[in-house]
Structure 1
């Protein structure tokens, strides 16, 4: 059995966590053991444990210092005898991969899941982090072309799309949808709009409130559901109050029932300034939900079944409003399943591809 140590940001809800869970659930556990170094304990902690993983929680490097972190990762690797280290933190992987190299790990995978680094204003230091991370890796992987070019520059890399296990979804009946709407305070005649994402600048929730304000001015009856948490949450709440949108905009916090919520939306809206892959958009499509997204979202996530409309967040806001109120024809489930297969997003196939890195 090969033992793999993955480095992920959190065991809470999120794109990287969702990807890893789907891959780990579809991995042959008689051949591979996945353990994890994690920086934030979240609501999937117990699920990881149930899958047989060891979890090593660490403080952020900025909290404990690079040397202490390298020594801890080195010790974890040596004590557990890992065959490979797979870091999902992109350019932040410098010290993890260095520890793995010092520990004699032959397979060191650097995985880029984003094409932006908003926290780094010093582009020279960011360039340095990327360069050293790449130097300590033996395999470069990205979830999209943009994410790969951002982290690796002109270096060659492998594309590993985020998987979609469509068979884990329970599709709701019309009666179940009606009951769920009632629980959330949504009327039958409400236009239901939804957004899922952390409250951070890159997700651009302020743009959603601009849309909500214009819809209210047009006297369109709607509910906008915002799902997520983050540092800008209080700012968004204040903007909702300032624009008198309390009756139409609901902040639901972090939720575990994402697939149920996606099936309620008449439109899913993702006006991100940047996206590495946008797995939530993939989730929206497999729920059959029409989606309006910014042109910065990678095209790799589009299943090409007619559920995505790309729009410019710097363009005319009326274009967004027209698409929001437009009626969409439902897409048959078999077309969505075909779209997942044709895109190569089958979770079992992607799990096999990832495991091939460790041979």
Structure 2
């Protein structure tokens, strides 16, 4: 019997990485590959039922913390030694650092997908320099890089992150079958208390600095002055939720705003939109954009 190739995936950040992994793993050939997912507790095991052979949760956090990160590295190293994978595939910058350091000296083939370089984030110059230095330092521990766009490859080249021969562009895709299932079960305006004649402007994404929910609600106030029946929908949740709600109350448009919180079927809400937005301060690749396109929505 042919031996399966064992791939150990490591991921800390949920959101886009979570969706990327679900669609990637769904279409892996189970006859040829064995997939093990090592992830933070931001991931839900039910989402990976029947698409991974093992689901292992490790304490990993987004923020840099010497104590927490060292503990995560030790845990991941132990798993790598136990699982003996053929390939270690690390996703996004935090898991990318933890996984590559954890594998040091074990000498597996290591593949790294940054899902958008951390040094391209909207942050201070010192932080950007630190992220660049980390990427350069860890480059020798990486066999192959997966860039999710041509721009991401160019950015790596311009910042001299690694040798050109290690950089591979594999464009992101979306799971059309899953998207169409969600779109077929569109949420009704009535269920959300939105008037049938409302002009709905919506955005799918975390309510965090990257996705600019502050810009969304500031824009909403201006739009409301011109379009009296406008209604605004944010599909998601996050640390800026209260800031958005507070601004909406201050400007008197809280009754024209719906925040859904986390949902399992975000595209079911896109059916409500007259206009779909993505106002990110930075993106590797906004997966929701081709999903909006599939839903035939005009995009800002």
CA distance in 1, matches of 2:154, 2:259: 35
Number of the residue aligned with 2:110: 108
Q: Distance in 2 between matches of 1:50 and 1:261?
A: 27
**Corresponding residue of 1:140:** 145
CA distance in structure 1 between the partners assigned to 2:70 and 2:227 by the alignment: 59
Which region of structure 1 is more displaced relative to structure 2, 111-120 or 234-243?
111-120
* 1:128 to 2:133 alignment: yes
Q: Which moved more, 1:60-69 or 1:73-82?
A: 60-69
Please give the residue correspondences for 1:308-323 in structure 2 after superposition, counting only pairs within 5 Å. none
How many residue pairs get aligned? The number is 285
User: Structure 1: how far apart are the matches of 2:140 and 2:35?
Assistant: 24
For residues 256 and 202 of structure 2, the distance between their equivalents in structure 1, rounded to whole angstroms, comes to: 12
Whether the 8 Å CA contact 2:115–2:148 is kept in 1: the answer is: yes
Asked if 1:4 corresponds to 2:15, the answer is no
TM-score by length of 2: 0.86
Pairing partner for 1:158 from 153, 156, 168: 168
Q: Which residue of 1 aligns with 2:204?
A: 196
CA gap of 1:188–1:218, structure 2 versus 1, over 3 A, is same
Alpha-carbon shift at residue 170 of structure 1 (Å): 2.7
2:207 and 2:75 map into 1 onto residues whose CA distance is: 32
Q: Of 238, 250, 262, which residue of structure 1 is paired with 2:246?
A: 238
Return the alpha-carbon distance in structure 2 between the equivalents of residues 171 and 114 of structure 1. 26
Matches within 5 A, 1:75-94: 75-90=78-93, 93-94=96-97
Contact 1:110/1:133 (CA < 8 Å) preserved in 2? no
Q: Which residue of 1 aligns with 2:267?
A: 259
What does the per-residue CA deviation read over 1:322-359, in whole Å, with 9 as the maximum and x for residues that have no partner? xxxxxxxxxxxxxxxxxxxxxxxxxxxxxxxxxxxxxx
Report the RMSD for the aligned CA atoms in angstroms: 2.3
Q: How many angstroms does 1:166 deviate by?
A: 1.4
Cα distance in 1 between the residues matched to 2:33 and 2:85: 11
Extract unaligned runs of 5+ from structure 2: none
Change (3 A) 1:2 1:180: same
| TM-score of the aligned structures, taking structure 1 as reference length | 0.73
Residue 47 of structure 1 pairs with residue 55 of structure 2? no
Aligned match of 1:167 = 177
Over 3 Å counting, the alpha-carbon distance change for 1:246 and 1:51 in structure 2 is same
The unaligned stretches of length 5 or more in structure 1 are 293-359
Identify which range, 220-229 or 143-152, moves more after superposition.
143-152
2:173 and 2:33 map into 1 onto residues whose CA distance is 18
Deviation at 1:220, TM superposition (A): 2.5
CA distance in 2, matches of 1:122, 1:190: 43
Once the two structures are superposed, the pairs formed by residues 345-356 of structure 1 within 5 Å of their partners are: none
Query: 1:257 and 1:84 mapped to 2: Cα distance?
Result: 32
Report SS of the residue matched to 1:37.
strand
Q: CA shift at 1:102, angstroms?
A: 1.7
- Which residue of structure 2 lines up, in the alignment, with residue 37 of structure 1? 38
Aligned partner of residue 110 in structure 1, secondary structure: strand
Indicate if the aligned counterparts of 2:41 and 2:57 stay in contact, CA closer than 8 A.
yes
- Asked whether the 8 Å contact 2:122–2:282 carries over to 1, the reply is no
